[in-house]
Amino acid sequence: MHGPLGEVTGTDPATLAELIGNQRTEHRVPHRLACQVVGVSESWFYKWRDKPTTAREIRRGRLAEAITGIFEDSGGTYGSPKVWLLLVRAGWRVSVNTVARLMAELGLAGRRVRHRRGLTRPGKRPAAPDFLRRDFTADAPDQVWCGDMTEITTGEGKLYLATVIDLFSRRLLGYAMGERHDAELVVASLNMAAATRGGDVRGVIFHSDRGSEYQSRRFQRACRRLGVTQSMGRVGSCFDNAVSEAFNSVLKVEYVYRHTFATRTEARLRIVTWITSFYNTRRLHSVCGYQSPIDYEHDHRASSALELAA
């Protein structure tokens, strides 16, 4: 017999008894035949069918609902560690191993990493020095930003995205999308980041790869106008711009690969919505103590204000 009765390995007794009972209700399969298929006796079935629901089973059902809710709220991207952390914050007393086991039983699996093809085309101008040397940490907002470009496939063709990220909080400060990956796009993303921070960003270090867009006169002029100092990693080394590379991976794996975009306009709108309603405001980041970037910055400002008042 094919169908749901064929996949019962590891199913708890109460759930299996319910499954057998549903076969007669939904498919007119007699209890005796259903019991034979799954390898249990009729007496076993009637025992578990009529057994009162225990407090443990009720709790387990509620836990499964909570886990499913958190997983779906993340867009189907959180693995058991982040789901467990949110459960604990919500007041649950449960181990991460229990969460992992329940997620496996429910068929809930987090994101799978895919590798992307880079867009970097080295420029011909002298590159800026590398001020970071793979140290992607910052003690406060607006000390160091990083940026990169990536491409998104749509029904109309490629859409290119330029980003600016604050290394302190991993907050996406600026972004711009267009049909071509050129200097205009990276300048637009830098200008948006400056506007997000109120306009005065003098002293910020901006780190990128050695792509021709970032070595262009237009981008260099934009940096000088804003008082931003450029920093660049080596050609062909993704590790020299690891934070931007990581964001591109998160965007692709957690959102883009899970959707199709008929037009570039649709892709723009939906990606911006994901950035503003999930990535910056709700997505948990390990570097932020498993807070969202904006919550992490709010806590930093609050603690800084308390230190000044002390």
Residue 125's pLDDT is 52
Other beta carbons less than 10 A from residue 296's beta carbon:
20
Give residue 273's pLDDT band: very low, low, confident or very high (50, 70, 90). Answer: very high
Q: What is the pLDDT of residues 147-167, one digit of tens each?
A: 999 999 999 999 999 999 999
Give residue 7's pLDDT band: very low, low, confident or very high (50, 70, 90). Answer: very low
Alpha helices in the chain (DSSP H): 13-27, 31-38, 42-49, 55-73, 80-89, 96-106, 183-196, 217-226, 242-254, 264-274, 293-309
Share of the chain above pLDDT 70, in %: 86
Q: How far is CA 57 from the centre of its chain?
A: 32
Q: What is the pLDDT of residues 225-239, one digit of tens each?
A: 999 999 987 665 556
Q: The pTM is what?
A: 0.67
Residue 112's pLDDT is 56
Give residue 53's pLDDT band: very low, low, confident or very high (50, 70, 90). Answer: low
* Residues ≥6 apart with Cβ < 8 Å to 121: 211, 212
Whether residue 90 is predicted with pLDDT greater than 60 in this model: the reply is: yes
- Distance of alpha carbon 180 from alpha carbon 160, whole angstroms: 6
* Residue 15 tokens, joined: 């759930």
Mean pLDDT of the chain: 84
Report, in angstroms and rounded to the nearest whole number, the Rg of the chain calculated over CA atoms.
26
Please, what's the b/e burial string for 93-115 (b: 16 or more CB within 10 A of its CB; e: otherwise)? eeeeebbbebbeeeebebbeeee
Residue 167's pLDDT is 94
